[in-house]
Amino acid sequence: MTIEITTLPSGLRIITDSMRDLETASLGVWIGAGSRHESKSEHGLSHLLEHMAFKGTTRRSARAIAEEIESAGGDLNAATSSETTAYYARVLASDTGLALDILGDILTQSTFDAQELEREKGVIVQEIGAAEDTPDDLVFDLFTDAAFPDQPIGRTILGTPERVSGFNRSSIETYLARHYAAPSCIVAAAGAVEHQRIVDEASQHFAALGATAALPPEPARYVGGEKRLRRKLEQTHVVVGFQGCSFHNLEEYALTVFTNAVGGGMSSRLFQQVREERGLAYSIYSFHWPYADTGLFGFYAATAPGDVAELMPVALDCLREAADTLSEAEMDRAKAQMKVAQLTALESSSARAEQIARQHLFYGRVLPREEIIGRIDALSLEEVRLAGHRALSTAPTLAAIGDVSKVMTRARIAERLA
Report the catalytic residues: 50
Report the side by side order of strands in the sheet with 3-7: 3-7, 13-18, 185-191, 24-31, 85-92, 75-80
DSSP letters spanning 348-402: -HHHHHHHHHHHHHHHSSPPPHHHHHHHHHH--HHHHHHHHHHHHTSPPEEEEEE
CA atoms of 293 and 263, how far apart (whole Å):
24
| Buried b / exposed e along 361-385 (16+ C-beta atoms within 10 A) | bbeeebbeeeebeeebeebeeebbb
Among the listed residues 288, 266, 278, 289, the one whose alpha carbon sits nearest the alpha carbon of residue 317 = 278
Neighbours of 227 (CB within 10 A): 20
DSSP letters spanning 161-206: HHHHHH--HHHHHHHHHHH-BGGGEEEEEEES--HHHHHHHHHHHT
Instruction: Give me Rg for the CA atoms of the chain.
Output: 23
Q: How far is CA 174 from the centre of its chain?
A: 24
Beta bridge partners of 77: 88
DSSP state of 271: I
Residue 99, classed as helix, strand or coil, is helix
Region for 46 from its dihedrals, namely left if φ exceeds 0, alpha if ψ lies in -120 to 50, beta otherwise? alpha
Among the listed residues 40, 37, 78, 80, the one whose alpha carbon sits nearest the alpha carbon of residue 166 = 40
Q: At what angle do helices 114-132 and 169-179 cross, to 10 degrees?
A: 80
Beta bridge partners of 15: 5, 188
CA atoms of 200 and 26, how far apart (whole Å):
17
Q: At what angle do helices 45-52 and 169-179 cross, to 10 degrees?
A: 100
